[in-house]
Amino acid sequence: MKTYNKTNFFKHTFCEFTQINDFQFPENTNYKSKSESVYFYTEDGVYRKSNHWGRVANCRWKLITDDDYKNQQIVIGFAKWTDFYPINSKEKYFFIEVDFNKKIAKIKPKRKTPNFLFTFSEAQKRINQINHLFKDDKWAKYYDLEINELSKQIITPFISSDKSLQEIKQSFK
């Protein structure tokens, strides 16, 4: 896998930054972007102070926050260099995590998990399909199972195999 550092972490990467509440940026920060985000590099990773997260230029940078975070609020996040993953790779570095109670699906980078892995673009496509299943339940009227149970039985194999959603749905008819 590619090694990331201060010269390449901002090129087509996925990363989950952790909110840091007690970091003071030194006077001579390493970099300030056009959008006013400030970066400070260490041997282990990067601190980022910004009011925008998610889609950042050609990257997908998530912020793992406490419950008080609101969009457009300035927050400091930290990520280790090993937390960056390529999003334009053919390699499968990502899995999909689903919270059926909250009806939320998220892309997560592989750590030491035995989860079924996807490329970033494959995972994005599957997330979109899962979100559609959660939002619109008209599709479920053709099945005999209750919607929540049916969703679990269809989404679980969808995130743990390379079968298409259509293949999985047809297996229930």
Structure confidence by residue, pLDDT tens digits, 21-79: 888 888 877 888 888 899 999 999 999 999 999 888 899 999 998 777 677 788 999 99
| Residue at which a domain ends, from 44, 65, 86 | 86
Average pLDDT, rounded, for the chain: 90
Report which of 127, 123, 39 is spatially closest to residue 86, judged by C-alpha positions: 123
- Quote the CA–CA distance of 12 and 29 in Å, as a whole number: 23
> And the tokens for 56?
């950042």
Residues 125 and 105 in one domain: yes
- Quote the CA–CA distance of 153 and 134 in Å, as a whole number: 13
Structural domain tally of the chain? 2
**CA distances (Å), origin 22, targets 50, 77, 94, 154:** 15, 10, 30, 43
Residues 99 and 166 in one domain: yes
pLDDT greater at residue 112 or residue 129:
129
Residues 119 and 154 in one domain: yes
pLDDT for the residue 95: 94
Selection from 54-58, 117-121, 137-141 with the highest mean pLDDT = 117-121
Task: Confirm whether 3 is domain-assigned.
Answer: no
Task: Confirm whether 153 is domain-assigned.
Answer: yes
| Residue at which a domain ends, from 28, 54, 86 | 86
pLDDT for the residue 132: 94
pLDDT greater at residue 21 or residue 129:
129
Report which of 173, 113, 111, 116 is spatially closest to residue 141, judged by C-alpha positions: 173
Return the percentage of the chain with pLDDT > 90, whole number: 63
Give the domain extent around 62: 13-86
Across residues 123-142, what is the average pLDDT? 91
Checking if the pLDDT of 113 tops 70, the result is no
Across residues 90-97, what is the average pLDDT? 92
